[in-house]
Amino acid sequence: MGADGAGVVEAIGPGVTRARPGDRVMINPGVSCRECEFCRKGEHSLCVKYRMLGEHLPGTFAEFVTIPAFNVARIPEVTPALSWVEAAAFTLVTLTAWRMVVTRALVRAGEWVLVWGIGGGVSLAALRIAKLLGATVIATSSSDAKLARARELGTDHVLNHRTQPIAKEVRALTAKRGVDVVIENVGEKTWEESLRCLAKGGRVVTCGGTSGPKLVTDVRPLFWRQYTILGSTMGNDAEYAEIVRRLGGGELRPIVDRVFPLAEARAAYQYLERGEQLGKVVVNVGQSA
């Protein structure tokens, strides 16, 4: 198990020039073939052989990981310095959210964006990226404590999806217009509500289905209101370079909720299953965080 991560380069193969032994690096867990038509176009997450560490390939819950040199980036020098925990928590959620918000949904300044489930890492990253772009953001959670934290992070409006009718509240906040973009990763439980929140010509972009994979959609408002439905997975080399650059500039520093030692990895997953986290949960393989 384990997707993204961070560590020290122990050794390199022949011909490797982008990393050297001793480098402190972050891991991009999306591995592409670099040869297919999509890779040649620079769309590495559309690779016909695309695989993820911890899902299709051995993951980062290990003392040693062997990966292509393309999949590491040197940890930027920032003040205060990034901890190993922060570096390990950065790539997957930030890259996923960047592609969703910037590349796929094309969020622009002045637009309204709804982000579901603000406790999750992708949702938190999407919120912060949307605010960087100048959007007005509505965030949801079933926890008032998480919503209060979302306010501290710059969210313009917060809604408790356990106690409030989200589509009705979104319409009220937007003078009945609806939002331009919905950031989705929940799936079955929120899909129809997401569409009801959209303004005419709105976009919904999804990267997951944590509540289930099967969606039911009334096609009539889909074509009548001219919605756009977008899928998104991870990102390409150019997008990764950009988020690393922004991290080096002091933006998009990851939010870490808790750190578990490797011996308590089961407890980390149980913690995630309970939905108590606000940000990333990190498993520490080494001796210190």
Per-residue model confidence as pLDDT tens for the chain (289 residues): 999 999 999 999 999 998 999 999 999 999 999 999 999 999 999 999 999 999 999 999 999 999 999 999 999 999 889 999 999 999 999 999 999 999 999 999 999 999 999 888 899 999 999 999 999 999 999 899 999 989 998 999 999 999 999 999 999 999 999 999 999 988 888 899 999 999 999 999 999 888 888 888 889 999 999 999 999 999 999 999 999 999 999 999 999 999 999 999 999 999 998 888 888 999 999 765 5
Residue 187's alpha-carbon distances to 72, 156, 208, 211, in angstroms, are: 31, 24, 7, 6
Confidence at residue 244, expressed as pLDDT on a 0 to 100 scale: 96
Please state, in angstroms and rounded to a whole number, the distance separating the CA atoms of residues 235 and 255: 20
289 is a domain residue: no
| One domain for residues 87 and 28 | yes
| One domain for residues 104 and 223 | yes
247 is a domain residue: yes
| One domain for residues 67 and 22 | yes
Confidence at residue 212, expressed as pLDDT on a 0 to 100 scale: 82
| One domain for residues 155 and 78 | no
| One domain for residues 62 and 166 | no
Among residues 216, 231, 246, which one ends one of the domains?
A: 231
Show the domain range for 152.
Answer: 95-231
| One domain for residues 117 and 198 | yes
Confidence at residue 201, expressed as pLDDT on a 0 to 100 scale: 97
| One domain for residues 20 and 68 | yes
149 is a domain residue: yes
The token pair that represents 185 in the structure block: 């990763």
132 is a domain residue: yes
108 is a domain residue: yes
Confidence at residue 287, expressed as pLDDT on a 0 to 100 scale: 62
The residue behind tokens 């690393």 is: 244
Tell me how many domains the chain contains.
2
196 is a domain residue: yes
Nearest residue to 280 (alpha-carbon basis) of 120, 81, 155 = 120
| One domain for residues 116 and 207 | yes
| One domain for residues 223 and 248 | no
Which long-range CB contacts under 8 A does 158-162 form with residues at least 24 apart? 158/118, 161/116, 161/190
| One domain for residues 53 and 156 | no
31 is a domain residue: yes
| One domain for residues 87 and 194 | no
| One domain for residues 263 and 144 | no
Among residues 187, 206, 231, which one ends one of the domains?
A: 231
The residue behind tokens 């950031």 is: 183
Among residues 215, 231, 247, which one ends one of the domains?
A: 231
Confidence at residue 160, expressed as pLDDT on a 0 to 100 scale: 95
CATH number at residue 140: 3.90.180.10
Q: List all residues 6 or more positions away from 152 whose beta carbon is below 8 Å from its beta carbon.
A: none
47 is a domain residue: yes
